[in-house]
Amino acid sequence: MDEVRLIEVKEDILSDNKAQADGLRISLKAEKSFLMNLMSSPGAGKTTLLMKSIAKIKDDVKVGVMEADIDSKVDAEKLVAQGISAIQLRTGGFCHLDANMVTKGLEAMDVKGLDLIIIENVGNLVCPAEFDTGAVLNVMLLSVPEGDDKPLKYPLMFTVCDVLIVTKMDYLSLSDFDLNAVRERAKKLNPNIKIFEVSAKTGEGLDDWTDWLKNEVTTFGK
């Protein structure tokens, strides 16, 4: 009986995706458009944080948002209702965005003149961490109600992200969430990760986060 050949499909897919993502970064940099990829588990508060953050920077930075979900247009509709330019990508079962999907989304947006394009990735701490979207900044949210063990359970997400936002800080006094443990675990996985502690509800930490982001965007390509 002939030996069965093993084809490493995932490796090929990731390699092709990385090449497309690198090309996307080059083209967006030429346009001076800063692409940010926002990731978290479902319910961590990505859309709420986006709306609060954009409200803080909209006078200085022109922002567009690319929403991604397996189904529905709920999040994009929330943003548009607040006067924020947004489109919805429906992945049809895929639990992540990749560079090809992002490229299709950008083709549907009026990218010219946008300083900051934010991808709100599918809610998931596994698949989105594996696929390069072409973003120059990867940001993840970890909400206090989720617990402090997530760096132990999902190490790749913390490894690939440039920024960790610990959100829903208003719940901290009501939980046994160990903020120091999260900091230590995240830094062990990624010594260069930048950490912000934020509550979209109370506004705690929002200025620190949005001031830093605005500086990153306005100095991009200079």
DSSP state of 175: S
Q: Is the dihedral of CA 200, 203, 205, 208 positive or negative?
A: positive
Render pLDDT for 126-136 as a digit per residue (tens, 0 to 9): 999 999 999 99
Question: What is the per-residue pLDDT for 108?
Answer: 87
pLDDT band of residue 7 (cuts 50, 70, 90) is very low
Could you report the per-residue pLDDT of 170-191, keeping only the tens digit for each? Answer: 999 999 999 999 999 999 999 9
**Looking at the predicted structure, is the pLDDT value of residue 169 above 90?**
yes
Gap between the Cα atoms of 125 and 155, Å rounded: 9
Closest CA to 36 of 199, 162, 191, 166: 162
Position 73 confidence tier, pLDDT thresholds 50, 70, 90 = confident
Lowest mean pLDDT among 56-65, 66-75, 101-110, 178-187: 66-75
Closest by alpha carbon to 62, among 220, 191, 168?
220
Return the pLDDT at 88.
86
One-letter amino acid of 168: K
Kindly list the domain boundaries of the chain, sorted by start residue.
Answer: 16-218
Q: Does the pLDDT at position 5 exceed 80?
A: no
The CATH number of the domain covering residues in 16-218:
3.40.50.300
How much is the pLDDT for 222? 65
DSSP structure string for 83-143:
T-EEEEEE-TT-SS--HHHHHHHHHTS--TT-SEEEEE--S-SSGGGGS--S-SEEEEEEE
Give the lowest-confidence range in 33-42, 71-80, 132-141, 181-190.
Answer: 71-80
Task: Supply the pTM of this predicted model.
Answer: 0.91
Which of 110-114, 119-123, 156-160 tops mean pLDDT?
A: 156-160
At residue 158's C-alpha, the angle toward residues 155 and 162, to 5°, is 155
